[in-house]
Chain A
Amino acid sequence: MTQPPGHVERTADRHEVPVEAAPGIAQSDTPTVAGASRALYAERVKIYPKEAHGRFRTAKWIVMAVTLGIYYLLPWLRWDRGPHLPDQAVLLDLPSRRFYFFFIEIWPQEFYYITGLLVLAALALFLVTSIAGRVWCGYTCPQTVWTDLMIAVERFWQGDRNARLRLDKDPWSLETLWRKSATHLSWLAIAVATGGAWVFYFADAPTLARQLLTFEAPAAAYLFVGLFTASTYVLGGIAREQVCTYMCPWPRIQGAMFDRDSLLISYRAWRGEPRGPHKSGQSWQGRGDCIDCRQCVAVCPAGIDIRDGPQLECIQCALCIDACDEIMDKVGRPRGLIAYDTVRNLDAGGTHTVPISVLRPRVVLYATAMAIVGVVMLTALVLRPDLDVNVLHDRNPLYVKLSDGGLRNGYTIKLLNKLYQPRSFSIGVAGLPGSQLSVIGHDQESPVVTVAPDQLQSLRLYVTLDKSAVAALPASSAAFSFVITDVGDHMAAEHRAAFQGPER
């Protein structure tokens, strides 16, 4: 078996001279691990993130305000769809099986739009990850946003990092009690609001809000409010970074999407090392810019040291950049000791700048795939008909022979009126000479069917040919069309069907 060169080197590190257990048998160099350090389960080390100030912190506040604002307020936005339909802009109406997104409305059989959206979202995630790493995790993931909010609340009641550390270290006092209680009550309030907002997406928000407050809402509403209250409180308030480190599969997948050109939050070791405290007036010659103040560690919500290099736990929230930039400003060194940088540029070690290459094959590939999916979805949306016709030919029996020797075929026809007003349609047959059409439950001569707004109407139809018309058919099966004409605007839709007779 060929070994990579590194392997030999590492073994050589450990044993200068190979030890033989017996002549010709090399002793294994497996190190024994002391029992103490072999704990298979780790205590959680509580993290007390310090507040950061700077560009990225500001950006994160803005992202938080926008995303939470959308989440909490969107169900309250109204959208006029006429008198027959709900006026909520975004509504997932499960009982009547309609999804409303502003001017878009999705019927159950059009769920591919949602599939398309999910594909787009996945591709967007791949694209942004290959360009700039875990941007999703760092700024917009609900787990990050709510955790950030919960930490801010904690900071409001208990003070910043040092105050919180002291509060936990000191014995329980009345102050500890009220500060902690206030924190947890605030978390619960946020969690209830989160669960509450969730259910508003599935029913008319003002009505449901009134029902929830007067205890008249359906049990499912309370169940889901409770579920999302619990998950927000536990995941955002208590579990926090544990969710990202242990539960979420996405960090594992993302590792495969970075490459040497991805912009990742990195410590520029070539600039920072050798690190060490810097005394006032001391020269910066012969030493690194890192003064080992560990502010980057103090602000980290994942509790890691970015100077150790890229790590699984790092959600790339960029708060360490803010913390370090603040310190660099104070000590009078240029910003960017910790910065978004590529591995390629880091490897150059400051000797020259490797330009950022965004237009890499994988980026182009993701962007192209996104464009294709987007264009396909947009085309499908623009061409979405406001009347769908489905025709199902009876299969058992395929045809019925009549007493005069004629034939009759049965069809179930479904008219889907996707407009927001009732429409009447006349139904006719084209391309089948001598045919007679009858609709069960309607006038035999010229059937006119009214379909309620945004509804489906199912009809039973019979097409009959007399003996001479059957004899005139070119083959045992003949193609023809149902012509569905809107009585109001005379727009006609044709749907192809077949008339079946006995085998010839």
Chain B
Amino acid sequence: MASKKSGRATETDTTGHEWDGITELNKPLPKWWLYVFYATIVWAVGYWLLMPAWPLVSSYTTGWLGYSQRVSVAEELDQAKAAKSGFRQQIAGSDLAAINADPELLSFALAGGEAAFGDNCAPCHGRGAQGAFGYPNLRDDSWLWGGSLDAIHQTIEHGIRADDPKTRISQMPAFGRMGLLNATQVNDVAEYVLSLSGRADDEAAARQGTKIFADNCSPCHSKDGKGNQTLGAPDLTDELWLYGGEKTTIAETIINSRNGVMPAWAGRLDPETIKELAIYVHSLGGGQ
């Protein structure tokens, strides 16, 4: 302890600094504190030698230990992969219904599916799978090609009108552009399609359209207009329209046709991920 003769602070050593009569007392730091400071300097030098430290012009000093955060991230990713491999093997070995029935496997598949959806599907279908113009909403109860687990799985695996031998494919003729229907006929059949959901403005035209529909459209969209999932032909009687349900857009579809494309994901994603995606999409509320 500093030697103090009495309680009067002014009798302690000063540093010689004085401002307006206020003197700075010399309260020395303990020496070990100084040694701790030196120790930190030694530590820093050791750190420079052992760890990546100094930036050079086009590289950096890598250090004797060869530690690299990139390498350790890669290792941790491998570990995470290994930790998941048990579940992934179970997913690979189970059919979709079995995965859906096992709560533990289901929650694993849902988490994996959600992540894969965000990476691969969200650009078109939206982050919340809510869809957009021309890109189906995956949460509603209307499916072009079927909303069962297996149907969803096949759609993801092989795509729609994609470069894949087993892809889902169908082709609506461009009735107007190809000259199959003239302008009046297009107008009439469009009125008829509107009448299927009770929205026709021109009853006479709609009646005219009945026969045109039966001749040209019903082979795919079926006689009652409820569509056909094996052909990807949408239900024309409900309230959901992928390209809009206004008369002008319906007429546009009849004239020019529509050709939505989805890539086949087999080959891009591994089979387990595709299964997870099917489970996830099925869980979004529209699964059948």
- Interface residues of A, Cβ cutoff 8 Å to B: 1, 3, 7, 10-11, 28, 30-33, 37-45, 242, 246, 302-305, 308-309, 313, 394-397, 400-405, 408, 410, 440-441, 460, 462
Bound-complex Cα distance A396 to B130 (A): 7
Q: Is B123 an interface residue (CB 8 A)?
A: no
Contacts of A410 in B (CB 8 A): 139, 284-285
Give 1 or 0 for each of B11-45: 1 = CB within 8 Å of chain A CB: 00111111011010010111111100000000000
Bound-complex Cα distance A10 to B30 (A): 30
Q: Are A441 and B106 in contact (CB under 8 A)?
A: yes
Q: Is B157 an interface residue (CB 8 A)?
A: no
Give 1 or 0 for each of B143-165: 1 = CB within 8 Å of chain A CB: 00000000000000000000000
- Picked from B18, B128, B239, the residue with its CB within 8 Å of the CB of A405 is B239
Main secondary structure of the interface of B (DSSP, over half): loop
Bound-complex Cα distance A242 to B30 (A): 9
**Known contacts A45-B1, A401-B240: does B128 contact A30 (CB below 8 Å)?**
no
Q: Are A42 and B14 in contact (CB under 8 A)?
A: no
Chain B nearest CB, measured from A335 CB (Å): 23
Q: Are A394 and B33 in contact (CB under 8 A)?
A: no
- Count of A-B contacts with CB under 8 A? 110
Q: Are A403 and B140 in contact (CB under 8 A)?
A: yes
Q: Are B26 and A404 in contact (CB under 8 A)?
A: no
- Picked from A38, A396, A400, the residue with its CB within 8 Å of the CB of B285 is A400
**Known contacts A3-B20, A403-B240, A408-B285: does B139 contact A44 (CB below 8 Å)?**
no
Contacts of A313 in B (CB 8 A): 1
**Known contacts A7-B21, A10-B10, A43-B31: does B16 contact A30 (CB below 8 Å)?**
yes
- Picked from B17, B128, B137, B239, the residue with its CB within 8 Å of the CB of A404 is B239
The chain A residue sitting closest to B282, CB to CB, is: A440
The chain B residue sitting closest to A1, CB to CB, is: B20
Q: Is B178 an interface residue (CB 8 A)?
A: no
Q: Are B128 and A394 in contact (CB under 8 A)?
A: yes
Q: Is B253 an interface residue (CB 8 A)?
A: no
Q: Are A404 and B238 in contact (CB under 8 A)?
A: yes
Q: Are A440 and B14 in contact (CB under 8 A)?
A: no
Give 1 or 0 for each of B243-287: 1 = CB within 8 Å of chain A CB: 000000000000000000000000000000000000000011110
The chain A residue sitting closest to B286, CB to CB, is: A400
Bound-complex Cα distance A40 to B13 (A): 11
Main secondary structure of the interface of A (DSSP, over half): loop
**Known contacts A31-B16, A44-B32: does B130 contact A397 (CB below 8 Å)?**
yes
Q: Are B29 and A40 in contact (CB under 8 A)?
A: yes
Q: Are B4 and A308 in contact (CB under 8 A)?
A: yes
Give 1 or 0 for each of B219-246: 1 = CB within 8 Å of chain A CB: 0000000000000000100111000000
Q: Are B30 and A11 in contact (CB under 8 A)?
A: no
Q: Are B283 and A460 in contact (CB under 8 A)?
A: yes
Between A and B, 10 residue pairs with Cβ closer than 8 Å are A1-B20, A10-B21, A33-B13, A38-B15, A40-B26, A42-B31, A308-B4, A313-B1, A410-B284, A460-B283
Beyond A37-B13, A45-B1, A402-B240, 7 additional pairs, beta carbon < 8 A: A30-B18, A31-B14, A37-B26, A41-B30, A41-B33, A302-B1, A400-B285
Bound-complex Cα distance A215 to B197 (A): 75
Q: Are A402 and B141 in contact (CB under 8 A)?
A: yes
Contacts of A400 in B (CB 8 A): 130, 137, 139-140, 285-286
Q: How large is the interface on B (under 10, 10 to 19, 20 to 34, 35 or more residues)?
A: 35 or more
Chain A nearest CB, measured from B117 CB (Å): 12
Bound-complex Cα distance A45 to B30 (A): 10
Bound-complex Cα distance A313 to B17 (A): 24
Contacts of A32 in B (CB 8 A): 16
Interface centre among A37, A41, A460 (most CB of B within 10 A): A41
Contacts of A405 in B (CB 8 A): 239
Q: Is B187 an interface residue (CB 8 A)?
A: no
- Interface residues of B, Cβ cutoff 8 Å to A: 1-2, 4, 6-7, 10, 13-18, 20-21, 23, 26, 28-34, 100, 103, 106, 126-128, 130, 137, 139-142, 235, 238-240, 283-286
Q: Are B285 and A246 in contact (CB under 8 A)?
A: no
Bound-complex Cα distance A313 to B2 (A): 11
Q: Are B141 and A304 in contact (CB under 8 A)?
A: no
Bound-complex Cα distance A402 to B286 (A): 9
Q: Are A42 and B2 in contact (CB under 8 A)?
A: yes
Bound-complex Cα distance A404 to B286 (A): 13
Chain B nearest CB, measured from A444 CB (Å): 12
- Picked from A303, A309, A403, the residue with its CB within 8 Å of the CB of B7 is A309
Q: Are A396 and B127 in contact (CB under 8 A)?
A: yes
**Known contacts A41-B29, A410-B139: does B239 contact A308 (CB below 8 Å)?**
no
- Picked from A394, A403, A441, the residue with its CB within 8 Å of the CB of B142 is A403
Chain A nearest CB, measured from B102 CB (Å): 10
Interface centre among A38, A45, A403 (most CB of B within 10 A): A403
Bound-complex Cα distance A404 to B7 (A): 92
The chain B residue sitting closest to A300, CB to CB, is: B1
Contacts of B16 in A (CB 8 A): 30-33, 38
Contacts of B103 in A (CB 8 A): 441
Q: Are A396 and B13 in contact (CB under 8 A)?
A: no
Contacts of A44 in B (CB 8 A): 30-32
Bound-complex Cα distance A40 to B27 (A): 8
Contacts of A462 in B (CB 8 A): 285
The chain A residue sitting closest to B106, CB to CB, is: A441
Contacts of A45 in B (CB 8 A): 1
Bound-complex Cα distance A501 to B237 (A): 22
Q: Are B6 and A41 in contact (CB under 8 A)?
A: no
Chain A nearest CB, measured from B110 CB (Å): 8
Bound-complex Cα distance A305 to B6 (A): 9
Q: Are B137 and A41 in contact (CB under 8 A)?
A: no
Bound-complex Cα distance A217 to B10 (A): 58
The chain A residue sitting closest to B16, CB to CB, is: A33
The chain B residue sitting closest to A304, CB to CB, is: B1
Bound-complex Cα distance A33 to B24 (A): 12
Contacts of B137 in A (CB 8 A): 397, 400-401
- Picked from B7, B20, B23, B235, the residue with its CB within 8 Å of the CB of A308 is B7
Q: Are B21 and A3 in contact (CB under 8 A)?
A: yes
Q: Are B283 and A42 in contact (CB under 8 A)?
A: no
Bound-complex Cα distance A305 to B7 (A): 10
Q: Are A242 and B106 in contact (CB under 8 A)?
A: no
Q: Are A11 and B21 in contact (CB under 8 A)?
A: yes
Contacts of B6 in A (CB 8 A): 308
Contacts of A404 in B (CB 8 A): 238-239
Bound-complex Cα distance A397 to B128 (A): 6
Contacts of A401 in B (CB 8 A): 137, 140, 239-240
- Picked from B1, B15, B127, B284, the residue with its CB within 8 Å of the CB of A33 is B15
Chain B nearest CB, measured from A21 CB (Å): 16
- Picked from B7, B10, B28, B240, the residue with its CB within 8 Å of the CB of A39 is B28
Chain A nearest CB, measured from B1 CB (Å): 5
Q: Are A403 and B128 in contact (CB under 8 A)?
A: no
Chain A nearest CB, measured from B215 CB (Å): 26
